[in-house]
Amino acid sequence: MSLNDKFKFTERNTTLNTEIIAGITTFVTMSYIVIVNPSVLSKAGMDFNGVFIATILAAIIGTLIMGLIANYPIAIAPGLGLNAYFAFVIVLGMGIPWQSALGSVFISSVVFLLLSLTSFRQALIEAIPRSLKAGISGGIGLFIAFIGMQNSHIVAPSPATIITLGNFAEPVAYMTIIGLIITIILLVNDVPAAIFLGMLITAIVSFLMGYVTLPDSIFSLPTGFDNTFMHLDIAGAFTPNLFAIIFTFFLVTLFDTTGTMIGVAEQAGLIKNNKFPNVRSALLADAFASTFGSLLGTSPTSAYIESGAGVAAGGRTGFTSVVVAILFFFMLFLAPIAQVLAAVPAITSPALIIVGFLMMGSLNQVDWNNIEESLPAFFVLFWMPLSYSITNGVGAGLILYPLIKIFRGKIREVHPLLYVFMVLFIIQFIMMNH
């Protein structure tokens, strides 16, 4: 079977070269995770090198399944918000050993995996109305752009207004602006792979200006894996104070991943007639990666919003994901150079900002003249970046949408699953404040 037949290049209006460029683009925009995740989890007492390897292997497992079986251009890797919750809330805040915390990740992931084998998650995706799907995609776009601006110091904290414009005299800020202008020029002139080329040119300019220095060595053999592999304590996770943690891991993983998949699939034009084709395989990819990730020694995985960068570069099939997985494999031996590039926000931030803009295009599917449909979409759009959480945005929409229908006397127009999750999210928001 040829690659064209396997991945349906012709059917999805793409080419091998386009998919390779898209894979490289996705990888470059999300490669920071191989440094950030070990850095965060090491604060909880875990070995940096062990988590570094576990992060890469979990990403390879999930992304390969997504590419080869589900045939979607969506990358999987340990989630940023989830690793912060793991390290700072559970381990450092509650004083729970990281081994027991990994055990709770394993339990929630197994539940997640079992539900993915059923029609539950697919039914949930199909139960979400188109207006909320569009709001999710647009909200993720705003969230991505905000992360890019924050990482590059284009926006900065302010004691008076909470957030304000950053200091553009900072190298990271003005280099990001230069990269943003370069990318915009390429984009408006319809240059193929504008986002990837923008990152490449920005990296070269940063090197010439002295903001990127090459490491002493480029290659190194992976070490330290035995410090995290199979060190989870499953029995220790079966304690009363960890039940809420297991539920939180499950809920956040479910809606972060589902929300991101919907957003990226909508952006790629792969959702037809409100249906997500082959969705079970896509959901299983993340469930398997999260389960194996807990055994390897990392926090839960999630579908990555940076996959939108690859989609914007033309990625439409699972071959994009295969390219991402291959590049992650090489990262096992390129830790020194990877650390240098991933630590320069000016290289990746322009891509995040542009992708954020491109994902806003889905909002034209919201009927803004129909307040029953548009108001929940607005709250999804509004809460994601301001609460710094995809889950919070999805939760706001899934609470408000059924409530509006109830008060309009249209109870039967809402799928029963939405009422279930309306209640669960109300409970979750109450628990967050206690």
Asked whether residue 246 falls in the same domain as residue 382, the answer is no
For the record, the structure tokens of 423 come out as 């209640």
Percent of the chain with pLDDT over 90: 32
CA distance 163 to 205: 29
Asked whether residue 138 falls in the same domain as residue 230, the answer is yes
Lowest-confidence pick of 92-101, 224-233, 394-403, 422-431: 422-431
What is this structure's pTM? 0.74
What does the pLDDT read at residue 77? 95
What does the pLDDT read at residue 155? 92
Helices and strands in the chain, H and E counts: 20, 4
Asked whether residue 375 falls in the same domain as residue 323, the answer is no
More confident residue, 183 or 390: 183
- Residue 128: which of 368, 392, 398, 361 has the closest Cα? 398
Asked whether residue 226 falls in the same domain as residue 127, the answer is yes
What does the pLDDT read at residue 215? 76
Q: Residue 352 falls within a domain, yes or no?
A: no
Asked whether residue 338 falls in the same domain as residue 422, the answer is no
Q: Is the pLDDT of residue 369 over 90?
A: yes
Q: Which domain holds residue 397?
A: 369-434
Asked whether residue 273 falls in the same domain as residue 395, the answer is no
Q: Residue 212 falls within a domain, yes or no?
A: no
Q: Residue 180 falls within a domain, yes or no?
A: no
pLDDT tens by residue, 178-213 = 999 999 999 899 886 788 788 888 888 888 888 877
Asked whether residue 75 falls in the same domain as residue 130, the answer is yes
More confident residue, 395 or 65: 65
Q: Kindly report the CA angle at 264 between 260 and 267, in degrees rounded to 5?
A: 145
Q: Is the pLDDT of residue 273 over 80?
A: no
Asked whether residue 328 falls in the same domain as residue 402, the answer is no
Q: Residue 300 falls within a domain, yes or no?
A: yes
Domain count, the chain: 2
List Cβ neighbours of 315 (8 Å cut-off, separation of 6 or more): 14, 18, 19, 22, 23, 25, 26, 73, 268, 307
Asked whether residue 225 falls in the same domain as residue 107, the answer is yes
Asked whether residue 384 falls in the same domain as residue 257, the answer is no
- How much is the mean pLDDT over the chain? 86
What does the pLDDT read at residue 180? 94
Percent of the chain with pLDDT over 70: 95
Asked whether residue 30 falls in the same domain as residue 119, the answer is yes
Q: Kindly report the CA angle at 342 between 295 and 292, in degrees rounded to 5?
A: 10
Q: Residue 340 falls within a domain, yes or no?
A: yes
The residues pairing with 275 across neighbouring beta strands, listed in sequence order, are 272
Asked whether residue 333 falls in the same domain as residue 400, the answer is no
Q: Residue 195 falls within a domain, yes or no?
A: no
